[in-house]
Amino acid sequence: MTRFLILALIVALAGCTSILGKKSALSQIREKAAATAQRSKVTTVNTAQRPAANTVSTTRRFTVNTAQRPKAGAASHGRGVMSPVAMTELHSDTVVPLDAPADLWDRMRRGFAMPDLDTNPVRKYEAWYARRPDYLEHIARRSRIYMFHIVEELELRGMPTELALLPYIESAFNPQAVSSAKAAGIWQFMPGTGRDFQLTQNTLRDNRRHVIDSTRAALDYLQQLHSMFGDWQLALAAYNWGPGNVKRAVDRNRAAGRDVNYASLRMPAETRNYVPKLQALKNIVSKPQVYGATLPQIGNHPFFDTVEIARDIDIEVAARLAEVRLEDFKALNPSERKPVIFAAGTPQVLLLPWDNAAIFKRNLAAAAPNSLASWTTWVAPSTLPSHEVARQFGMDERNFRAINGLSGGKMVKAGSTVIVRRPNDPVTSAADADAVDDSAETLYLSNIALRRTTVHANKDDSIAAIAKRYDLPAATVARWNKSRPGAVLKPGQPVALFLPAYADAETREK
């Protein structure tokens, strides 16, 4: 009997344990559900605070602080609920327009960021421009082919877009403008400053006039000046007057206990009026209707595209292949100083109206290679009068002098590289066209003197082999030696070369 009682008690206890186990499982399910609900709570956005269309919104980003999340499998403090998730707001100074600019003027206005100057000189220049609407419109039309590139570059660098108006003051957007102090291009770089900012200046081209290169250099310089003075108005004064002069003016005012802002400095009249002119233009662009001004339409899209060329080509031929007017081609490629672009051996980039770039490529591919350039370069083997060189290449002496910048009575010195009409003889035939084209490379070394030197042929040498050894065009070496590019030489036969001075020195050491 006792055994049966004990057995019944064991069964009863087992049943109670099973019931308690079920209750525990239900409790766990409820706790898990509560935890899920807690995790699914999200922060809602008050849509009434969202900016409407056509307004400006300050960009905000939210990030989750994952450091406060419990790791997988970690204890949850016995409550079955995750720790609170912290939300951190990241502020950005970037202002994002929610609508696209109507045109480039609208896009420019949105990037105006310099502090305004409100002075009598500003009002004087507002009135000056307002009385000359035709002049203002003419300059604005001239700027249309450059302006998109400038505004885009300013935006990429985070610079105030009113700086795109600076060439109005510097050059009236005329890339051929040259000041009395020899400053050139739309940004008016002095020769020395241009070299400081890697703007090539040689016989063939002046990149102070190059649209892309000069804009890059100008913005580099302006950023450098802004870093130096911490103020855009002082940076502009330094761009006009020179950083050393502005620094001394600032130091004088600081030593005297006076303000060191732009309006307080003692400066020449040109520099004193420099920023007021820019401010006046900015005001007119901001509200042209107030000043009775008409701004020509400038689309918010690129005006030009770049095309690389690897063969010499006449300026007139390039314009014809691109199907653009010669004056328009020159306006986009104002850095070229000669009637031909030498590209063989030193590939060059042309700027062409956007739609015409593809047309140029198609027409160039279909053109005969020997029809592209009617000019080449020639190195004088000895000192000659200019009329003799002109006669040799069937040119008018006056034309020869003008193309090569030679004054009357000036001799063509031995080793000098000049531009001449491409001759039609066996030495410069189409078969040797590539070698002739490469001879223009000597013109890029405008600051390096060329010297005549003599080398001696080895066994089985030819003119072409020696030319290759010294990285020279075979046709040019053949002309220097009154021979042919493929001519085989006898061992020890002397060959005349014109080499840069440093290369000549190395040759003699060998």
Instruction: Report the DSSP beta bridge partners of residue 90.
Output: 61
Task: Determine the pLDDT at residue 478.
Answer: 86
440: left (phi over 0), alpha (psi -120 to 50) or beta: alpha
The residues that bridge with 95 in the sheet, in sequence order, are: 58
**Residue 62 pLDDT > 60:** no
pLDDT (mean) for 427-438? 39
Rounded Cα gap, residues 44 and 29, in angstroms? 28
Long-range contacts at 54-57 (CB < 8 A, ≥ 24 apart): 54/98, 54/99, 55/98, 56/95, 56/96, 56/97, 56/98, 57/95, 57/96, 57/98
Between 393 and 7, residue with greater pLDDT: 393
Which secondary structure element, helix H or strand E, spans residue 453, and what is its range?
A: strand 450-456
> What's residue 31's pLDDT?
54
As to burial, measured by CB atoms within 10 angstroms (0-12 exposed, 13-18 middle, 19+ buried), residue 313 is: buried
List C-alpha distances in Å: 126 to 121, 334, 338, 359, 429.
Answer: 9, 31, 40, 43, 61
Q: How far apart are CA 3 and CA 9, in angstroms?
A: 10
Cα–Cα distance, 481 to 233 (Å, whole number): 61
Residue owning tokens 């570059």 = 153
Please state, in angstroms and rounded to a whole number, the distance separating the CA atoms of residues 91 and 96.
13
pTM of full prediction above 0.75: no
Output the pLDDT for position 93. Answer: 55
Nearest-angstrom CA–CA distance, 178 and 193: 15
Read off the pLDDT band of 450 (50, 70, 90). Answer: low
In tens, the pLDDT along 83-105 reads 454 444 444 455 555 678 989 99
The pLDDT value recorded for residue 357 is 97
Does residue 216 register a pLDDT over 90? yes
Residue 167, H or E segment: helix 166-170
How far is the C-alpha of 70 from the C-alpha of 6, rounded, in Å? 48
Confidence check: pLDDT of 187 > 70: yes
Q: Which amino acid is at 451?
A: R
Question: What confidence score (pLDDT) does residue 313 get?
Answer: 96
Q: pLDDT confidence of 501, banded at 50, 70, 90?
A: low
Backbone torsion region of residue 211, taken as left when φ is above 0, otherwise alpha when ψ lies between -120 and 50, otherwise beta = alpha
Q: Which residue has the higher pLDDT, 95 or 219?
A: 219
Beta bridge partners of 495: 455
pLDDT, position 288: 96
- DSSP-based three-state secondary structure for 379: strand
pLDDT at residue 447 in the model: 42
- For residues 92 and 382, which has the higher predicted lDDT (pLDDT)? 382
d(CA 34, CA 81): 7
- 229-287 confidence digits (pLDDT tens): 999 999 999 999 999 999 999 999 999 999 999 999 999 999 999 999 999 999 999 99
> Is pLDDT above 60 for 126?
yes
151-160, 207-216, 258-267, 398-407: least confidently modelled range: 398-407
Q: When comparing pLDDT for 443 and 42, which is higher? A: 443
pLDDT of residue 79: 40
Q: Which helix (H) or strand (E) holds 151?
A: helix 133-157
Rounded CA-CA distance 8/14 in Å is 10
| Phi, psi (rounded to 5 degrees) for 447 | -100, 10
Report helix, strand or coil for 353. strand
CA distance 63 to 86: 9
Helical spans, DSSP H, in 50-132: 104-110, 120-130
Question: Is residue 408 over pLDDT 80?
Answer: no
What percent of the chain has pLDDT above 90?
57
- Choose the weakest-confidence range: 74-78, 133-137, 379-383: 74-78
DSSP code of 56?
E
Which pLDDT band holds residue 140 (cuts at 50, 70, 90)?
very high
Q: Is the pLDDT of residue 202 over 60?
A: yes
User: What's the pLDDT tens digit per position in 344-373?
Assistant: 667 799 999 999 999 999 999 999 999 999
Least confident among 88-97, 390-399, 493-502: 88-97
What pLDDT band is residue 80 in, cutting at 50, 70 and 90? very low
Query: What per-residue confidence (pLDDT) applies to 203?
Result: 87
Average pLDDT over residues 276-300: 96
- pLDDT confidence of residue 166: 98
- Rounded mean pLDDT of the chain? 80
Instruction: With a cut of 60, say whether residue 342 has pLDDT above it.
Output: yes
Q: Between 91 and 57, where is the model more confident?
A: 91
Question: Residue 164 carries which DSSP code?
Answer: G
Lowest mean pLDDT among 28-32, 60-64, 291-295: 60-64
